[in-house]
Amino acid sequence: MSWLHDILNQSPEVALFLSLAIGYAIGQIQFGKFQLGGVAGSLLTAVVISQVGVHIDNGVKSILFALFIYAVGFESGPQFFRSLGLQSIREIVMAAVLALSGLATVVILARLFGLDKGLAAGIAAGGLTQSAIIGTAGAAIAKLGLPLDEVQRLQGNVAVGYAVTYIFGSFGAIIVCVNILSWFTGRSIATMR
């Protein structure tokens, strides 16, 4: 196993592209009617590969994260602004309730189970499928004035918490949108555009 650690530390981009390739392949596998998809498959694969101890430069992490956020905004931004109007007030209230209840849940459970700040932030990011929390949490952890190895450990825990809870956060959003949101707004999910 040390040979793999040496190879991946000499060329961390290999770990990055392995995560993408293997994760995309895993994401295409059908489990009945369920399929992980390329994003979730890559996240889970990256968590497994990261256990070898690969270190990716923070600059590369920041650039790739910015590209991810750009791609999400580029794809969903126009649809978001087209859907705004008086008819969407209930959906906005529901989104606020969901975000606040998700945050409260993470804070309470992190205190109950004694989770560190990095893991709690990662769980919030994945559970709420809010990738922007990753960058914000990483920057906040860097400004805590902790030793470098502790900062790296906490920032690593953000990524682990995100990757592990992202799938559950996606399922939760689907359940809320299909069942609860349609009941709350009095409209079926098919008519919400």
Q: What is the DSSP string of 34-68?
A: EE--HHHHHHHHHHHHHTT-----HHHHHHHHHHH
pLDDT at 122 over 80: yes
| 27 CB-near residues (< 8 Å, 6+ apart) | 35, 36, 37, 38, 39, 40, 41, 42
Tell whether 80 and 38 lie within a shared domain. Answer: no
What is this structure's pTM?
Answer: 0.56
Percent above pLDDT 90 for the chain: 10
Q: Per the structure, how many domains does the chain have?
A: 2
Tell whether 119 and 62 lie within a shared domain. Answer: yes
- Of 25-29, 73-77, 124-128, the one with minimum mean pLDDT is 73-77
Tell whether 37 and 117 lie within a shared domain. Answer: no
Mean per-residue pLDDT, 25-40: 83
pLDDT at 1 over 70: no
Tell whether 89 and 46 lie within a shared domain. Answer: no
Mean per-residue pLDDT, 47-51: 78
Instruction: Check residue 104 and give its pLDDT.
Output: 92
**What is the Cα gyration radius of the chain?**
19
Tell whether 39 and 121 lie within a shared domain. Answer: no
Which of the listed residues 40, 56, 72 is the one where a domain comes to its end?
A: 56
The dihedral through the CA atoms of 93, 96, 181, 86 has a sign that is positive
Tell whether 49 and 77 lie within a shared domain. Answer: no
Tell whether 24 and 113 lie within a shared domain. Answer: no
pLDDT at 139 over 80: yes
Tell whether 102 and 43 lie within a shared domain. Answer: no
What is the overall mean pLDDT for the chain?
A: 82
Give residue 192's pLDDT band: very low, low, confident or very high (50, 70, 90): low
Tell whether 116 and 160 lie within a shared domain. Answer: yes
Instruction: Check residue 112 and give its pLDDT.
Output: 94
Mean per-residue pLDDT, 35-45: 81
Mean per-residue pLDDT, 30-41: 81
**Tokens 């209840």 — which residue?**
101
pLDDT at 109 over 60: yes
Note whether 43 and 162 are within 8 A (CB).
Answer: yes
Which of the listed residues 17, 37, 56 is the one where a domain comes to its end?
A: 56
Show the domain range for 10. 1-56
Tell whether 107 and 146 lie within a shared domain. Answer: yes
Residue 168 has which token pair? 């559950």
Tell whether 77 and 16 lie within a shared domain. Answer: no
Tell whether 3 and 83 lie within a shared domain. Answer: no
**C-alpha to C-alpha distance for 190 and 39, rounded to whole angstroms:** 25
Mean per-residue pLDDT, 11-33: 85
Beta bridge partners of 39: none
The torsion angles phi and psi of 122, rounded to 5 degrees, stand at: -65, -40
Which of the listed residues 39, 56, 73 is the one where a domain comes to its end?
A: 56
